């Protein structure tokens, strides 16, 4: 009916740019509209461009119609768009494609009336959607907390919720420096439902954490793809919604859905290590790339049972305490940079000759042979373990 009144093709989307309804059109329609109808959602490249051009930010602030200029690189023709509001919340959008003529001010008034009429339909849809989201989140929490671990029951839940489980999956956790607000939760939900690079099966929010169950079926090399998605997702939350200082983490890849809680533990283990070693693990997101850090809890338990103490590190610590020096820091930097004196000297902001002299003193005081890889490996592990347990 809106199309008949305004004499132009119309599409109606929900707040996450999923297609709800569309009118007929002739052969002069543009590629963006065709892709939206075929895929039942607006293509991600179109959404990204509309954010960059300021169209979507404007639609999230005003109840007035907005003209959208042609963007040939993404196949978008001239349009007029209007948001559908319920009080301070955007429920969806109406898009009117201008082909034969430009919409007039009178048409804008009719479009505002149309948005008001569509609101009631969307409110009914939103109620049904909210009930389903409550059920899916309850299902996800049962998986995360080991209250549901029968493969048969898990598959039954997936099918009852009309979610197709992926063959392979990973759990991602995004940690914020504060508890996630309702407004931030809306932004997160929007971004999750508009992203098309990775399929998100389930998600939940717990205080300052966003937890995702991500499909890993569609990539030859899923770990780097999931890492890239995590970085881009955090960057978009910052760029579009001002949600900053997000730390992403990802589990390994799993096939058995009864292992979701294990994957969740892995993602949280990455976050723990990153908080203890921010510098060393700055670029690590995936549990598979933690290396020796994966074993720290086991190694610490072994150390406690044996009441072990590294003699060389003890001697260096005592020397630093007595002489107000930093030989332990020097040793750690040298080992971090794989015995590269020039890189370690830059890190410590000292001359290479100064570092060489310090290493000689470290060798003498701690009885360390820098040509012995076994001893160096043990020193490296014990230095990290001390930092891990807060010494």
Q: Which pair of tokens denotes residue 149? A: 């671990």
204 φ, ψ to 5°? -150, 155
User: What's the CA gap between 147 and 164, in Å, rounded?
Assistant: 21
pLDDT band at residue 391 using 50, 70 and 90 as cut-offs: low
3-class SS of residue 100: coil
What angle do the packed helices 105-144 and 260-276 form, to 10 degrees? Answer: 100
How crowded is residue 364: how many other Cβ atoms within 10 Å of its Cβ?
A: 10
3-class SS of residue 259: helix
Task: Summarize the chain as % helix, strand, coil (round to 5).
Answer: 55, 15, 30
pLDDT band at residue 23 using 50, 70 and 90 as cut-offs: very high
Q: Which pair of tokens denotes residue 124? A: 């009914």
Residues 6 or more apart whose Cβ sits within 8 Å of residue 364: none
User: What's the CA gap between 384 and 278, in Å, rounded?
Assistant: 12
Helix extents (H) in 1-70: 2-6, 31-39, 44-52, 55-59
Q: Is the pTM of this model over 0.75?
A: yes
Q: Report yes or no: 93 and 108 within 8 Å, Cβ to Cβ.
A: no
Q: What is the mean pLDDT of the chain?
A: 92
65: closest CA among 101, 25, 26, 95? 95
- pLDDT, average across residues 345-366: 94
pLDDT at 299 over 80: yes
The string of pLDDT tens digits covering residues 46-82 is 999 999 999 999 999 999 999 999 999 999 999 999 9
pLDDT band at residue 300 using 50, 70 and 90 as cut-offs: confident
The string of pLDDT tens digits covering residues 108-144 is 999 999 999 999 889 888 877 777 788 898 999 999 9
Q: Is 177 exposed, middle or buried (0-12, 13-18, 19+ CB in 10 A)?
A: exposed
The string of pLDDT tens digits covering residues 170-201 is 999 999 999 999 899 999 999 999 988 899 99
User: What's the CA gap between 307 and 253, in Å, rounded?
Assistant: 36
């Amino acid at each position: 009916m809106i199309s008949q009144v305004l004499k132009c093709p119309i599409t109606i989307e929900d707040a996450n740019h999923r297609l709800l309804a569309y009118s007929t059109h002739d052969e002069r329609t543009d590629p963006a509209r065709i892709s939206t109808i075929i895929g039942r959602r607006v293509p991600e490249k179109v959404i990204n461009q509309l954010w960059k051009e300021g169209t979507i930010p404007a639609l999230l602030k005003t109840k007035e119609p907005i003209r959208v200029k042609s963007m040939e690189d993404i196949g978008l023709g001239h349009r007029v768009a209007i948001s559908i509001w319920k009080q301070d919340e955007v429920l969806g959008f109406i898009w009117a494609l201008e082909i034969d003529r430009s919409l007039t001010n009178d048409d804008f008034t009719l479009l505002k009336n149309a948005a008001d009429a569509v609101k009631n339909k969307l409110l009914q849809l939103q109620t049904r959607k909210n009930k389903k989201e409550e059920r899916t989140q309850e299902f996800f929490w049962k998986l995360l907390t080991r209250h549901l671990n029968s493969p048969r029951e898990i598959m039954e839940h997936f099918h009852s919720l009309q979610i197709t489980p992926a063959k392979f999956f990973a759990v991602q956790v995004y940690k914020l420096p504060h508890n996630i607000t309702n407004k931030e939760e809306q932004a997160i939900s929007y971004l999750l439902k508009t992203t098309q690079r990775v399929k998100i099966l389930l998600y939940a929010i717990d205080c300052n954490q966003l937890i995702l169950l991500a499909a890993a079926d569609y990539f030859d090399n899923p770990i780097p793809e999931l890492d890239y998605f995590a970085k881009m997702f955090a960057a978009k939350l910052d760029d579009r919604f001002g949600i900053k200082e997000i730390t992403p983490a990802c589990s390994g890849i799993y096939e058995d859905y009864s292992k979701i809680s294990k994957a969740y533990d892995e993602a949280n283990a990455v976050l723990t290590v990153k908080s203890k070693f921010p510098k060393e693990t700055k670029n690590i997101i995936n549990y598979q790339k933690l290396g020796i850090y994966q074993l720290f809890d086991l190694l610490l338990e072994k150390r406690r049972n044996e009441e072990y103490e590294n003699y060389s590190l003890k001697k260096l610590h005592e020397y630093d305490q007595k002489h107000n020096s930093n030989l332990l820091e020097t040793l750690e930097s040298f080992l971090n940079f794989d015995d590269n004196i020039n890189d370690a000297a830059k890190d410590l902001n000292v001359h290479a000759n100064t570092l060489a002299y310090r290493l000689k003193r470290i060798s003498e005081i701690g009885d360390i042979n820098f040509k012995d890889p076994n001893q160096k490996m043990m020193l490296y592990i014990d230095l990290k373990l001390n930092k891990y347990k807060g010494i």
